[in-house]
Amino acid sequence: MASIELIDASQACALLRLETDAPEGTIQAMARDNAVIALVQNGKTMVPVFQFDTENGRVFDVVRDILALRPARVSNLRLCYWLTRAHVDFHCAPAQRFGKDDSAIVAAFARYIEPDRHG
């Protein structure tokens, strides 16, 4: 997890231009609604920076698409690992292509989560 740039809930709300007295609760609610990837570090809700379109103050649409596909067996930490490691299809980490190759990222993730079939 040390290689993933994380920000706290207050910083995430600021990036999203959300004014709230309860940033932790706001980000946790967004995570429950599969609108953002959240991790817990030292008891605090933290979010990876890679999922934010900082120029437009929003979460990349592909994040919601990936979270909708994600099976329960894939934790947020495992998902972050997959998104931040070099992938043969992109010659870089999928998260580096957010906003550019979204459909290809979703297709690659669908292949990644497909159950192994031995026969």
Q: What is the pLDDT of residues 53-79, one digit of tens each?
A: 999 999 999 999 999 999 999 999 999
Q: What is the pLDDT of residues 80-103, one digit of tens each?
A: 999 999 999 999 999 999 999 999
Do 50 and 84 meet the contact criterion of CB atoms below 8 Å apart?
yes
7: region left, alpha or beta (phi > 0 left; psi from -120 to 50 alpha): beta
Amino acid occupying residue 7: I
